[in-house]
Amino acid sequence: MKVTVIDIAKKAGVSQSTVSKVLNNYPTISKETREKVLDAIKELEFYPDLVARSLVTKKTKTIGLIVGDISNPFFSETAKVVITDAREQEIDVIISDTDYRLENLELALRNMVGRRVDGILVASVDRRDTVTTDLAKKEFPIVLFNRHTDDKGTPYVVTDNEKGSQLAVQHLNDLGHRRIAYISGSLSFSTFHQRYNGYKKALAELNLTIDPMIVYSGQVDSEKIKVFLKKVLSLKNRPTSLYAASDQIAITVIDILAEMGLRVPTDFSVVGFDNIDIASNPHINLTTISQNKQEMAEIALEKLLNIINSKEDELPFQIILEPELIIRSTTKSIQ
């Protein structure tokens, strides 16, 4: 029923090893035998069993990619780069979606190791995670991107998030804003943690007061954001602008402000972070901090493949990319 290397060998009148050798392009095989074998392969429609091959070569030509939420554009846009680039090297990618939960991350990691993937790329690691570090210590090929762990034991490539926040705050300050609210997702992610630090640092440098009343971090569903915005806008000393630690949050904020009858940027300025595709849509046209996601994903993959092929000696490395301020039309100078 199923065609194996043995069937090909019989058909071509050669040994099993010879078949294997033409499959793997051994240079020693003579032209005639190679052709006999190739003919048999074509005739019997033989496709080598990659599972069996993996068992002996110890390579699966598969890598794992762990994301927080594949339906979030940030992750799907970076996944695209990883999948496409990996394909060029005939590598497949298994995707795991953690829903941003630490336990799911750890499950995914263990599962992928059991699957014997050649390496793992983690786009959404939790600061507290230790499993990635354990793997890195055991010299299992693993690279983090976007986020890293507190212990910094695993190689990573990220954007300079503090710097990003400074660009955002500076921009608002340049426009005359002195009260700048802040919203971010959970501080258990290094991205949000650093953007938060950068926000505070930038305020301090500009001699602006850090007011906990206009700062929120945690779950960022639209209900929670609404409650926060209502509170903030009812303050007597209310802010004139807001820096959101992601474009998704920024867009939600703008929607809610619209519902509340506030126009952006006339009544209120908003800056996002990420520069996802939709941010440049003319209807949204969000001022944001751009991270070069594609480059980040490309580098992470390239480095991972280097590690897999033992071409990387200085581990763990840390690559930090520059963010960039992109001014569009959700920020405006204060009157």
Partner DNA sequence: CTGAAAGCGCTTACAG
Instruction: Please tell me the total number of residues recorded for the chain in this structure.
Output: 335
When the beta carbons of 55 and 213 are compared against DNA, the nearer one is 55
Select from DNA, a second copy, none the partner in contact with residue 254, using the beta carbon and a kind-dependent cut-off of 5 to 8 Å: a second copy
- Residue 14 is a binding residue for DNA (CB under 7 A): yes
Q: Which of 4, 76, 285, 292 binds DNA (CB under 7 A)?
A: 4
What residue 236 binds from DNA, a second copy, none (CB within 5 to 8 A, per partner kind)? none
Residues 82-111 that bind a second copy (CB under 8 A): 83-84, 87, 92-97, 99, 110-111
Side-by-side strand order, sheet with 324-326: 215-217, 180-184, 241-244, 269-274, 287-290, 324-326
Comparison of 21 and 179: residue with beta carbon closer to DNA: 21
56 binds DNA (CB under 7 A): yes
Which of 7, 160 has the CB closer to a second copy? 7
> Should residue 261 be labelled a site residue for a second copy when binding is judged by CB under 8 A?
no
What track of x and - describes contact with DNA for positions 16 through 45 (by CB under 7 A)? Answer: xxxxxx-xx-xxxxx-xxx-----------
Residue 115 CB, shortest distance to a second copy, in Å, is: 5
Sequence-distant (6+) residues with CB within 8 A of 143 are 119, 120, 121, 122, 154, 155, 156, 157, 300, 301, 303, 304, 307
Residue 30 tokens, joined: 């003579």
* CA–CA separation, 113 and 196 (whole Å): 34
Binder of residue 16, out of DNA, a second copy, none (CB less than 5 to 8 A by kind): DNA
**137 near a second copy, rule: CB under 8 A:** no
Residue 255: Cβ within 10 Å count: 15
What residue has token string 């569009």?
328
Reported in sequence order, the residue ranges of the chain that DSSP labels E, i.e. its strands, are: 62-67, 92-97, 119-122, 142-145, 156-159, 180-184, 215-217, 241-244, 269-274, 287-290, 318-321, 324-326
First to last CA, the chain: 79
Q: Identify the residue whose tokens are 């509170």.
A: 231
Q: Which residues bind a second copy (CB under 8 A)?
A: 47-52, 54-55, 60, 62, 69-71, 73, 75-77, 79-80, 83-84, 87, 92-97, 99, 110-111, 113-116, 251, 254-255, 258-259, 277-278, 281-284
